[in-house]
Amino acid sequence: MGKPTGFMEYLRELPVDRSPQERVHDWAEFHLPLEEKRLRQQGARCMDCGVPFCQTGRIINGGAAGCPVNNLIPEWNDLVYRGLWREALERLHRTNNFPEFTGRVCPAPCEGSCVLGISSPPVTIKNIEETISERGWEEGWVFPEPPAVRTGRKVVVIGSGPAGLAAAAQLNRAGHQVTVLERGDRPGGLLMYGIPNMKLDKREVVERRVRLMEAEGVKFICNAEVGENVEAMLLLKDFDATVICTGATRPRDLAVEGRALRGVHFAMDYLTASTQALLAGAPDATPIHARGRDVIVLGGGDTGTDCVGTAMRQGCRTLRQLEIMPQPPAERAADNPWPEWPRVQRLDYGQEEAAARFGTDPRGYLTTVKRLVGDAGGAVSEVVTVEVAWERNGQGQLVAREKPGSEQAHPAQLVLLALGFLGPEQPLLREMGVEVDARTNVRAGYGQYATNVKGVFAAGDCRRGQSLVVWAINEGRGVAREVDRFLMGSTDLP
């Protein structure tokens, strides 16, 4: 702890973002850097508390509390305060393969569990993490480190999202020959196509990491869909171990009248098409475009926000974001105490941009869709909504009841379904004979990751269900340990 009184001397400070009016005209990342002196002061706010809840990584009341990869947060905060950037990067890489990802897209449950946050605004952990990582890339401290010795064992990882990349990086570090299969046209999975470019730059950040992993010996094969153009059983024969990291990509649908109308799309299809067009150099060539349209986004999570931000950049005419749940409180409720993740109202980047353009927060709460109305050509033209109230039924369960007389019609030529995910897609699992649990996730215990098929392991969202990028990295590292143990009899992987 470099400055014992730092948390009393310095206020929480984050870098200023580019203005919403400016950034909606491009697809570049919008966070600006904080000068080094002020960032070091932010590191000085870390209290070196007796029990650093920020790095515990537990599930409390259904949400992450603390860092799921157990980042050594007080250590690198102190090193940043003292200007020891390379040492801070070394501490950061001990627990996290990809701090350049988590520093940008993680919701920072660490900050929700910061001890300073009990009585004051918490330490700016996420911003410090990203800055340490970027300093490392800029200074050349991040470079290919291929293993000195190869074991002769071969591992195939199915899926190149955060869990697959973490598993591949760790297994390669152990000396195994790793091949990553990706059904998309570029590696990265969720990182490439599930998160828009303005939150996570694809060429400057995602592809940079992939290139480094290739230089370390990891082989990536794209357009390789197991069960379609790659035979699952051949993988079991040709590789010593198989790791399934396919994510939870089966979207929750909307079962209402008019669902089949043109212009109604799953959020991930929309985001993927938008990023593909951007990377092709023709962002307006996407087959699903919001320009000049009345857009309604259904769902209030991160994916819904990303749809809002994307539609804003495409020049939508109007935008609404509807959520069936009630509006969160401005401050922690009595049943949401520290160190739980604070379930409070936030204005994320997409809503900020919409409010700047249209004059009001685009979100509506306690609202659900009654039906979708189409025009004469079979395209959606209107969304009819109804307000709901949450009440307990005879079994004590909370259910949404429609409020009589609350129907409203909203013009819409583009409706985006960001309603969450129901688990992994099943054909691959069936072909391999992998068992699933009652939620259709792969049945593989946390900490072991082994499925019922010998030599086949699973990690990430396909095992635990839809979750955070940082949990996917946690599981990718964890499954790598168990695969290494399976192949070698023991493991030295952290």
Q: For the domain that residue 324 is a member of, what is the CATH number?
A: 3.50.50.60
Confirm whether 144 is domain-assigned. Answer: no
Mean pLDDT of 262-272: 98
Q: What is the pLDDT of residues 289-326, one digit of tens each?
A: 999 999 999 999 999 999 999 999 999 999 999 999 99
1 pLDDT above the threshold of 80 = no
Task: Identify whether residues 278 and 385 lie together within a single domain.
Answer: yes
Confidence of residue 393 (pLDDT cuts 50, 70, 90): very high
Give the whole-angstrom CA distance, residue 31 versus residue 182. 30
The DSSP secondary structure of 262-328, one letter per residue, reads BTEEEHHHHHHHHHHHHHTT-GGG-SS--TT-EEEEE--SHHHHHHHHHHHHTT-SEEEEE-SSPPP
Whether the Cβ atoms of residue 151 and residue 103 lie closer than 8 Å to each other: no
2 pLDDT above the threshold of 80 = no
Task: Identify whether residues 234 and 327 lie together within a single domain.
Answer: no
260 pLDDT above the threshold of 70 = yes
Mean pLDDT of 48-75: 92
Task: Identify whether residues 241 and 133 lie together within a single domain.
Answer: no
Confirm whether 147 is domain-assigned. Answer: no
Buried b / exposed e over 200-238, threshold 16 CB at 10 Å, is bbbeebbbebbebbeebbbebeeebebbeebebeebbee
Task: Identify whether residues 391 and 360 lie together within a single domain.
Answer: yes
DSSP state of 113: T
Mean pLDDT of 65-82: 96
Whether the Cβ atoms of residue 413 and residue 294 lie closer than 8 Å to each other: yes
Mean pLDDT of 409-415: 98
Q: For the domain that residue 73 is a member of, what is the CATH number?
A: 1.10.1060.10
480 pLDDT above the threshold of 70 = yes
Q: What is the pLDDT of residues 206-237, one digit of tens each?
A: 999 999 999 999 999 999 999 899 999 999 99
- Smallest CA-to-CA distance from 368 within 421, 407, 422 is with 407
Domain enclosing residue 128, as ranges: 6-139
Task: Identify whether residues 412 and 281 lie together within a single domain.
Answer: yes
Confidence of residue 455 (pLDDT cuts 50, 70, 90): very high
Task: Identify whether residues 437 and 386 lie together within a single domain.
Answer: no
484 pLDDT above the threshold of 80 = yes
Task: Identify whether residues 224 and 301 lie together within a single domain.
Answer: no
Q: How many domains does the chain have?
A: 3
pTM: 0.96
